[in-house]
């Protein structure tokens, strides 16, 4: 936890942003509902051969709503929202970056359900 506590920008248990707060991005919202919210809300539908995806890549120029959308997903799923910058995960010391990444994912697993947002990849 030492590494995770140093690099987590914010651990928010209730980001209080809904899809209604997100203006536009209708196609992205629909895709995220199908890929993230449905599997969390109805896990029985995603058993056996139909497995939900374990990660999503949101991309685009700065200021287009990626982090806001991630917060809305966390709210809709009633999940913890964790945000970390990819630059915080890097280290000049051998093996330190791996330890920090491992620590962040361990913390996210403990706070399940959790939306882990890694910014600036």
pLDDT in tens, 7-48: 665 577 678 899 999 999 999 999 999 999 999 888 898 888
Say yes or no to pLDDT of 70 above 60: yes
pLDDT in tens, 92-103: 677 778 888 888
Rounded-to-integer distance, Cα 34 and Cα 29, Å? 9
Ordered domains of the chain (ranges, CATH)? 2-119 (3.40.50.300)
pLDDT of residue 52: 85
Report the pLDDT averaged over residues 83-96: 77
Strand 80-85, strand 114-119: pairing: parallel
pLDDT of residue 15: 85
Integer CA distances (angstroms), 27 to 17, 22, 33, 55, 107, in order = 18, 12, 10, 18, 31
């Amino acid at each position: 936890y030492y590494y995770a506590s140093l690099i987590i920008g914010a651990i928010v248990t209730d980001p209080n942003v809904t899809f209604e707060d997100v203006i536009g991005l209708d196609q992205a919202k629909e895709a995220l509902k199908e890929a993230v919210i449905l599997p969390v809300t109805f896990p029985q539908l995603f058993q056996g051969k139909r497995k939900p995806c374990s990660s999503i890549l949101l991309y685009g120029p700065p200021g287009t709503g990626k982090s806001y959308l991630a917060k809305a997903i966390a709210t809709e799923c009633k999940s913890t929202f964790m945000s970390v910058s990819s630059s915080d995960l890097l280290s000049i010391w051998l093996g330190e970056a791996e330890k920090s990444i491992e620590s962040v994912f361990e913390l996210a697993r403990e706070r399940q359900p959790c939306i882990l947002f890694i910014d600036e990849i």
